Structure 1
Amino acid sequence: MAPVKLPTPVLRRREADHGELARAMRARVRGEVRFDAGTRAMYATDASNYRQVPIGVVLPHDPDDAVAAVEVAREHGAPVLSRGGGTSLAGQCCNVAVVLDWSKYANRVEAIDPDSQTVIVQPGCVRDELSRITTRHSGLVFGPLPATHSHCTIGGMIGNDSCGTTTQWCGTTAGNVERLEVLTYDGVRMWVGPTSEDEYARIQAEGGRRAEIYRRLRELRDRYGDEIRRRTPDVPRRVSGYNLVDLLEERGFNVARALVGTESTCVTVLRAELRLRAEPRARAMLMLGYRELGAAGDHVPEVNGYTPFILEGMDAKLLAYEELERLHPEAFPLFPGREAWLLAEFGADTLDEARQRAEEVAARIGHDDATVLTEKSLRDQVWDVRESGLGATARTPGGGPDTWPGWEDSAVPPERLGEYLRGLTALFDEFGYSAASLYGHFGHGCLHVSIPFDLVTAEGVRRYRRFVERASDLCLGLGGSLSGEHGDGQSRGELLTKMYGETMVRAFEEFKAIFDPENRMNPGKVVHPNRLDTQLRLGGDYAPMEPPTVFEYPEDSGRFSRAAVRCAGVGQCRRLEPEGGVMCPSYLVTREEQHSTRGRARLLFEMLRGETITEGWRSPAVAEALDLCLACKGCKHDCPVFVDMGTYKAEFLSHHYARRIRPLDHYSLGWLPLWARLALLAPNTVNAAAHLPGVSGIVKRLGGIDPRRELPRFARASFIRWFRRRTPRGSGHRGRVLLWPDSFNTYLSPGVLAAAVGVLEAAGFRVTLPDRAVCCALTWISTGQLGVAERVLRRSVAAVAPQLHDDVPVVALEPSCAAVLRADAHELLGDDPDTRRLAARTKTLAELLTERAPDFRPRLSGRDPQPVRAIVQAHCHQHAVLGFDPDLALMRDIGLAPERIDSACCGLAGNFGMVPAHRDVSLGCAEQALLPAVRAADEHTLLLADGFSCRTQIEDAGPGRRPVHLAEVINAAVRGVPLGAYPEEAVAVRSDGRRAHR
């Protein structure tokens, strides 16, 4: 049978008129239509090596809205790309096209049928959100679980035929799709799925374009059937190429599953009917350690024989990288000193049965290094290590090279995995890529790896290509698949002829042409692909702007351009739930890509590239995206590659407003330490005037402050004057400690400092203060007034240098100030010995008491023996920079039962929440978890918040409860007074004159 030869499709000569196209879109699409440079720049890349600036971006409200958008695109000849979470690693989610981003609006779960165990869902629904909803209504989940499960969308999973750890149990996404509602570029809207003879006859009887599509699909199947059977690799993780095997008669002529994995190159998916499954009720993990990675691969077939629920593998290099990056340190003791591990989970109805199953397998295998874990928290720690693989290896720690995708998910038959691991490792050594770490879904023979390709020189790009060609020969020679999870896109589309042969590739081309004859759907991907070494995000001609900066960026070789390329596109900042982290508060509220850490990082990258965003530091698009960054530093901790957007924002603002008029709040709240010191000259007069009806509104207006916010009240008495006049107390046998009089507590909440003095003296420390005014310059840093910040901070370091030389610890009570002293100061002032000493000596109150006074644990009095329940709001900087475990441990020791709020951020964040334009986002952040927890707390529950911003947000937006600082609680325990009855000396310097209450 001679195959039908198709001409290579080309783009229409009538290119889209972008201005006319944008106007037509806005007229007919109810969702958001964005053709501005900033949005196009943000969507120019995914998590791959590729970059193509789109024509524009449309956020449809629902499937009907997407139909309207595709119709307008068709009328103007514009290509279309349907995009999910944008985490694709092969370049399939970037193109010169109209991008449909479903994630913000078109994300509903429309129907759940527990009887048939199915669900109908819109493409933008996030995988974990779907399973949360289906579990609540039916006890069932959607099976596939990629590492990005907290933020990847169902539409993206369908486009990519996503897999994940649980595919060992449930199969790939294709195997869990029942039907799809799809739209062709030329306007055919239809549900597709398995097609019986009767259904096929009915479709043909109806006639029209749909009948033509089905007829041509059957003809293609009949022509290429034998070739499809012969050339389709029989491996569990065959994601490369189109699923033509599902068109075969023995597979039910399943058009839906044939379209899964086509990466938006054939149709637009509007809805999906998915199969749901019941997960095992209990699981136990079997950890097997090996002296060599290949030996772990050799053992996979034997372990597979016991049908594990999950079977993963990883090398010791991944663990070493995560240890250097301080990722999941609690999990390190679970891994013995080996070079590789297999991680097998076994499911059962009860935990005892699961444990017995794992122990039985361990006994039968007879391996000399086997551990069984049943406790969920321990298993979660192990999986956290495994799921952090992509981010942890994207930039090797300790000054190692950056690593990139490009050969990150190949798969071979599991019985040949050991052979493949050894061959690939040898290839790494030959090419000088030995920094690469290997891990993945070993049970299905699928490997993940990020490789230190040189993608910024012409020779490096040529070497990258040579490696991929050699690696593909190795993989295919073992009967494998180029992709076992992430798809083909651009990075592997060019290699499909090597895997399938020319005849099958022609079949792929015909398949696409049946649905998309004019090649308008995501052109240049999978079939008729662009070369794998073109359209690179970096490339041999990459020459970003290298501007002088104020911060030093020591972790990025002193270059802001390297900091801007740090983001690997994993998208963890797009999670829909805080889940114990902080990143990214504004995205949780707005669900906007530009308000995610990734979106902001992409804009900074494009700003330095200077092509789509051409205004440099003056860019309004970058300024708009950074405007809603709360500088919470959550990304510095939660982002797997430690993007520090708070610092990047301060740097940008410094240049953006250089020699320009700044926003009013930069002058009012940005200079708060100065105004507070001046207010101390006549605090009663200042407070009365600032809160006088009529005057208060004028003050807020002049200061750029939200009129619905309460202005802070300055202290009625000077804490520093009070401290200097008093007689030191306590034995001082533990030595001196320098208490940092931060501006927030000194001028606004002096009772906190007074309480800390009482605690430290009772613990045996001699408390001292700096001999002159000091400030960490936080307010100037956060508003980008870095010249002032540097001068203030340098003077402050000089003021405390003598105590630092004597190894005196510095106790900082305000978490944001402590974070500056411990981290930001070093980047701002450079490699200064005293700055290093200050960072090393700075302690939180809990850290100091834990390290220097372990026997000092006063117990709360006036209570029954039961611990006092306490709701605790950890400041973002405690989470991201300082650490919070010592605080929780200390709370328990003094008689509290702390419950940490699983909150992203309080939302106030210094000046952020005080600005009128930020009010909705500020309160939206607080409503994520903080304010609901405060409202739910009864009157006997203590509210703890060390951050001044956190306490202010609770008092201002909460139900009238006053939270307290940990220092105040410990001081109450020291004095033996009931909570809320503080010594008169502390009350005397409070700003409001009121006693604290629970």
Structure 2
Amino acid sequence: MTSLTGKTAAADARVKPETELAARLSREMEGEVLFDRASRGRYSTDASIYQVMPVGVVIPRHQQDLTAALEAARDARVAILARGAGTSQCGQTVGEALVIDTTRWLNQVVDFDAEARTVVVEPGIVLDHLNAWLKPHGLWYPVDVSTSAQCTIGGMTGNNSCGSRSIRYGNMVHNVLGVDAWLADGSEGHFGFLDELPESGPVRALAERVKAIAGNVAPEVREHFPKVLRRVGGYNLDLFDCQNPKPYDPQGRANLAHLLVGSEGTLGVSRRITLQLSPLPEHKVLGVVNFPTFYQAMDFTQHIVTLDPTAVELVDRTMIDLSLENPAFRPVIEKALIGQPQAVLLVEFAGEEHEAQLASLKRLTELMADLGLPEHVVEMPEAAEQKALWNVRKAGLNIMMSMKGDGKPVSFIEDCAVPLEHLAEYTDRLTEVFHRHGTEGTWYAHASVGTLHVRPILDMRRDGARKMREIAEEASALVREYKGAYSGEHGDGLCRGEWVAWQFGETLNDAFRALKSAFDPSYLLNPGKIVDTPKMDDQRYFRFPTRYQRIPLTPLFDWSSWNVTRDPLTGEQGEPGSAGDATHGLAMAVEMCNNNGHCRKFDAGTMCPSYRITKDEQHLTRGRANTLRLVLSGQLGEAGLAGDEVKEALDLCVSCKGCKRDCPTGVDMAKFKIEARAARARVKGLALRDRLVGEMPRYAPWAKRVSGLLRAVERFDLLARPLKKALGLAPERRLPAFTGDFLGESRATSSRVSAGATGEVVLFVDTFNNYLESDNARAAKRVLEAAGYRVHLNVKPGERPLCCGRTYLSSGQFDKARAEAKRSLDALMPFVKRGVAIVGLEPSCLLSLRDEFLQYGFGDEARALSEAAFLFEEFLVRASEAGELSLELKPLPGRALLHGHCHQKAFDALRPVEQVLGWIPELTVTTIESSCCGMAGSFGYEAEHYQASLKMAELSLLPAIRAAEEGDVLVADGTSCRHQIRDGSGREAIHVARLLERALA
């Protein structure tokens, strides 16, 4: 039986430690010890281009576990790599080491002093979670990096992270007061201000050693350390230059903790981190400056910063275009544009007084007019629209990585920093470098401090490594010419480690090596970073080396649309590959995951419900994508998609399609799961439960005839429990009640013309709303007729009702699903050709016509059907906006509490529900901010998934339902959602069609 975390007994047997280290860790730790190849593979990558298989992975449950893991690794002389969310872009968090994941349990606030504005936290706490905790106190931690929803304070400290507002608040090193750390020799200590350290002990001894090293190289520090804010390469030796004001502390006090900041875990392992907080700005305004040319945007930045903004962030044309292609970002970015700009700058002002910020916004508009760009500023004084646009900017990396094809924007010179007066010329000349090498770069991020995230588009499977080296050499020469920093934000890692000596000179590089030896003489702490690093283009460490191969397999869906090429110079996308290239396309779709970890977020949105309840990388969209990538490239054996590793990784995937929408690169795990389930079914066969789920549309008419017997069985637990156990169903769940047959009852009247009908529709009634909840179909038909439509039904005398095939897909019976889809397509096409809309009630069924139907290989007919298919409420809104709807509704005083089906959210189809409910007079509509309800078709019925299903519902849905007033109407369009609400709260939810029916005048 599968546990809540999805690990089966077979998996536990494979994980059973065989090495002495793994055995000791399993004995001494309460947390998880993961040495199986799939788990190690999931931790072998971060958001960089690199992949290194770790020795093993541990997830400590508490500080004692952390101590045990560190001591065991040290005794075994195994390298140690502490890791947060794995969002590093330079390979800092990959290595042949024992990986210690602190994110699941070592994530607490330890101490807080509101008056002193300080907080002490464990390293695994996520930045957004910390700021949410601080918000009621009017404080925040202002190093607001774009990955704030998933990155951890420990990782930010290791990288010396910066963020969009560093022009106002500085970097991590300016906001860290102290670090409690474990050292390589097993000792522990508090690293803080030098004048507060103990007179003796290991930390004082290290401080004296550091002072001696720094004193020996003080002239080189003054000469070679870049004089820009964004400088995060090497070690922060400049904090010990006693002849100059300390750059990291307002009082000029040297702080030994600042040596650990930016050290990438090579000097110590953080246990607790003390942070300096800032008052939360009460008011913010945003001005979006649209530029006709990219050069102007760069050139004018130096003038804009004189207005004292808190942030000036760049979004280039490529990022604008890619955002417009994303359904979640399109409406947001459109509001920010004037015409067709080549670049925009997001200029934010923040402070205590709103009027003062509005005045700054006016000065920005006046400045742009003085510089020759009048009426080029979109003003955004409201918080909601600002937040929406900042979310687009924060997704910049993921948006850039959403390019289809093997060519991707590659990070290696991404955050070089140059003085602002040289920014325009630097970007212009670097663009020429890209063109000489036959590629183009993508640009975005921190114009305010001269750090632009630029990524040339390269194919690392072919000649990308060679071009990367050549471009890096030319870019470094430009950085040196402009006296900038080669590493301006994202650290050194495997990507820029070899450039440390180039940036600082051999003398300082030797000093860095001496520092490393003082702290870690055995080189056990994240070796190969900052000092003694490999070459950036060493193929042994690439995720996609030139030897990378994809295993041959024949996928079921047509994935050829992912098999595309893009001209790196023009950005134009080539034609998709042919259907015969679908094998290649499946792998390319999987490889769209860039490992940035956006799926680890816990804010509003759909994904990823299984990760939200487990905090397990295995049950994360990224973890699943990595598992599939490793499988499809033959790195996890020869079983392919039918293997146990794939089954276990997808075990808790509820096919919510949240990743399809919320993942900026469009990873659609639900569709991958269909391929995997079908592959396993071909090899392992189908269980009786799977057949019952898949064949429901066929036996539903017969189940209705014995519904009385089924209800009788349900009432007698001695009969029901053994039956459910035999079928693998949760005994706590009530069996579905087949109580109706709407289509059967309506055959004789299905084509009757409604009085005064002015249009016609096909009401596509699915199995669930036909046989389980017929009242929904009946209500929808009545509302459509009242609105003036002739209603055709998806059934003909003597034939089975049409079906989308969803139950077959979910049970691994792909061929039957495709056959059902073809039958529906053939029957509906005559209506589609006449311009008749196909209207459905169940989101997962109707939206199959807009999703899976397009990948069966049905061609133009499937595309035509997808364009004609609408959910019930979508159709009503569309008709209303076209002036074709005549629907009189009476008041229904009260409140409707709305829960959206996951597929509605994924296809941006929840807003129409809110709109039609808003048509009912005197009805207040409140939408529950929730992820998946957890029922997910048959998932919540399955015995091994019952507890996981309830945990998903308890995240936000069921608490919101229980908090509702007795008179509130609960609205949920999904059959599964309504059943989960009923089972979990005892309350009934209804389809929106039934509420509209009640309101018919």
Identify whether the pair has TM-score above 0.5, normalized to the shorter chain: yes
Distance 1:726 1:129, change over 3 A: closer
Distance 1:726 1:340, change over 3 A: closer
Q: Name 2:898's counterpart in structure 1.
A: 872
CA contact (8 A) 1:683 1:716 kept: no
Q: Name 2:180's counterpart in structure 1.
A: 181
**Deviations 1:516-562 (CA, angstroms, capped at 9, x unpaired):** 11111111122111111121100111112131100112432222211
RMSD in angstroms over aligned alpha carbons? 1.9
CA contact (8 A) 1:236 1:413 kept: no
Q: Name 1:798's counterpart in structure 2.
A: 826
Q: Aligned runs of 1:131-150 on 2, under 5 Å?
A: 131-136=131-136, 138-150=137-149
CA distance in 2, matches of 1:404, 1:658: 38
Name the SS of the counterpart of 1:330 in structure 2.
helix
CA distance in 1, matches of 2:858, 2:254: 67
Q: Which residue identity is paired with 2:757?
A: H
Q: Aligned runs of 1:210-289 on 2, under 5 Å?
A: 210-249=203-242, 250-251=245-246, 252-289=253-290
Are residues 1:775 and 2:803 paired? Answer: yes
Which of 920, 929, 937 does residue 956 from structure 2 map onto?
Answer: 929
Q: Name 1:985's counterpart in structure 2.
A: none
Distance 1:857 1:234, change over 3 A: farther
Name the SS of the counterpart of 1:438 in structure 2.
strand
Distance 1:664 1:98, change over 3 A: farther
Q: Tell me how far 1:373 sits from its aligned partner.
A: 1.8
Q: Which residue identity is paired with 2:826?
A: A
Which of 761, 784, 788 does residue 812 from structure 2 map onto?
Answer: 784
Q: Name 2:7's counterpart in structure 1.
A: none
Q: Tell me how far 1:317 sits from its aligned partner.
A: 2.1
Q: Tell me how far 1:211 sits from its aligned partner.
A: 4.1
Q: Name 2:431's counterpart in structure 1.
A: 425
Q: Tell me how far 1:391 sits from its aligned partner.
A: 0.9
Which of 412, 426, 429 does residue 418 from structure 2 map onto?
Answer: 412
Q: Which residue identity is paired with 1:345?
A: E
Q: Name 1:492's counterpart in structure 2.
A: 496
Q: Name 1:702's counterpart in structure 2.
A: 726
Q: Aligned runs of 1:690-729 on 2, under 5 Å?
A: 690-725=714-749, 728=752
Q: Name 1:562's counterpart in structure 2.
A: 588
Q: Aligned runs of 1:115-154 on 2, under 5 Å?
A: 115-136=115-136, 138-154=137-153
CA distance in 1, matches of 2:294, 2:460: 28
Q: Aligned runs of 1:462-477 on 2, under 5 Å?
A: 462-477=466-481
Name the SS of the counterpart of 1:426 in structure 2.
helix
Q: Name 1:360's counterpart in structure 2.
A: 363
TM-score by length of 2: 0.91
Distance 1:692 1:672, change over 3 A: farther
CA distance in 1, matches of 2:530, 2:293: 36
CA distance in 2, matches of 1:240, 1:732: 75
Q: Tell me how far 1:606 sits from its aligned partner.
A: 0.8
CA distance in 1, matches of 2:456, 2:808: 40
Q: Tell me how far 1:882 sits from its aligned partner.
A: 5.1
Q: Name 2:390's counterpart in structure 1.
A: 383
Q: Tell me how far 1:461 sits from its aligned partner.
A: 1.8
CA distance in 1, matches of 2:818, 2:393: 41
CA distance in 2, matches of 1:787, 1:621: 24
Q: Does 43-52 or 929-938 show the bigger shift?
A: 929-938
Q: Name 2:707's counterpart in structure 1.
A: 683
CA contact (8 A) 1:650 1:784 kept: yes
CA contact (8 A) 2:939 2:949 kept: yes
Name the SS of the counterpart of 1:273 in structure 2.
strand
Q: Does 409-418 or 48-57 show the bigger shift?
A: 409-418
CA distance in 2, matches of 1:862, 1:283: 40
CA contact (8 A) 1:858 1:894 kept: no
CA distance in 1, matches of 2:158, 2:853: 46
CA contact (8 A) 2:160 2:491 kept: yes
Are residues 1:335 and 2:334 paired? Answer: no
Distance 1:616 1:400, change over 3 A: closer
Q: Tell me how far 1:22 sits from its aligned partner.
A: 0.2
Q: Does 488-497 or 605-614 show the bigger shift?
A: 605-614
Distance 1:487 1:862, change over 3 A: closer
Q: Which residue identity is paired with 2:398?
A: G
CA contact (8 A) 1:319 1:385 kept: no
Q: Does 603-612 or 174-183 show the bigger shift?
A: 603-612
Distance 1:522 1:678, change over 3 A: same
Are residues 1:350 and 2:353 paired? Answer: yes
Q: Name 2:612's counterpart in structure 1.
A: 588
CA distance in 2, matches of 1:696, 1:926: 25
Distance 1:18 1:466, change over 3 A: farther
Q: Which residue identity is paired with 2:526?
A: N
CA contact (8 A) 1:63 1:122 kept: no
CA distance in 2, matches of 1:310, 1:101: 32
Q: Tell me how far 1:256 sits from its aligned partner.
A: 0.5
Stretches of structure 2 lacking an aligned partner (at least 5 in a row): 1-16, 247-252, 564-581
CA distance in 2, matches of 1:692, 1:153: 52
Q: Tell me how far 1:894 sits from its aligned partner.
A: 2.4
CA distance in 1, matches of 2:140, 2:460: 40
**Deviations 1:121-143 (CA, angstroms, capped at 9, x unpaired):** 0000000111111222x321111
CA distance in 2, matches of 1:612, 1:485: 35
Are residues 1:604 and 2:664 paired? Answer: no
Q: Aligned runs of 1:702-851 on 2, under 5 Å?
A: 702-725=726-749, 728=752, 730-731=754-755, 733-770=757-794, 771=796, 772=799, 773-827=801-855, 829-851=856-878
CA distance in 2, matches of 1:64, 1:125: 17
**Deviations 1:105-152 (CA, angstroms, capped at 9, x unpaired):** 11010110112111010000000111111222x321111011110111
Q: Name 1:548's counterpart in structure 2.
A: 554
Distance 1:419 1:522, change over 3 A: same
CA contact (8 A) 1:330 1:381 kept: no
Distance 1:643 1:727, change over 3 A: closer
Q: Name 1:574's counterpart in structure 2.
A: 600
CA contact (8 A) 1:140 1:278 kept: yes
**Deviations 1:810-841 (CA, angstroms, capped at 9, x unpaired):** 111100001111111111x2143332222111
CA distance in 1, matches of 2:982, 2:736: 11
Which of 435, 443, 450 does residue 438 from structure 1 map onto?
Answer: 443
Distance 1:533 1:839, change over 3 A: same
Distance 1:763 1:115, change over 3 A: same
Q: Name 2:13's counterpart in structure 1.
A: none
Q: Tell me how far 1:876 sits from its aligned partner.
A: 0.4
Q: Tell me how far 1:589 sits from its aligned partner.
A: 1.1
Distance 1:808 1:857, change over 3 A: closer
CA contact (8 A) 1:665 1:911 kept: no
CA distance in 1, matches of 2:878, 2:131: 44
Q: Identity percentage over the alignment?
A: 34
Distance 1:63 1:228, change over 3 A: farther
Q: Name 1:19's counterpart in structure 2.
A: 19
Q: Tell me how far 1:361 sits from its aligned partner.
A: 4.0
CA distance in 2, matches of 1:837, 1:871: 35
Stretches of structure 1 lacking an aligned partner (at least 5 in a row): 1-16, 977-998
Q: Tell me how far 1:260 sits from its aligned partner.
A: 0.5
CA distance in 2, matches of 1:63, 1:682: 58
Q: Which residue identity is paired with 1:170?
A: Y
Q: Does 677-686 or 486-495 show the bigger shift?
A: 677-686
Q: Tell me how far 1:706 sits from its aligned partner.
A: 0.6
Are residues 1:861 and 2:885 paired? Answer: no
CA distance in 2, matches of 1:727, 1:283: 58
Q: Tell me how far 1:227 sits from its aligned partner.
A: 1.1
CA distance in 2, matches of 1:110, 1:731: 70
Q: Tell me how far 1:855 sits from its aligned partner.
A: 5.3
Q: Tell me how far 1:908 sits from its aligned partner.
A: 0.5
Which of 444, 454, 478 does residue 459 from structure 2 map onto?
Answer: 454
CA contact (8 A) 1:691 1:711 kept: no
CA contact (8 A) 1:456 1:541 kept: yes
CA contact (8 A) 1:60 1:105 kept: yes
CA distance in 1, matches of 2:437, 2:755: 65
Q: Which residue identity is paired with 1:221?
A: A
**Deviations 1:448-496 (CA, angstroms, capped at 9, x unpaired):** 1333211002x33212221122222222221111222111101111112
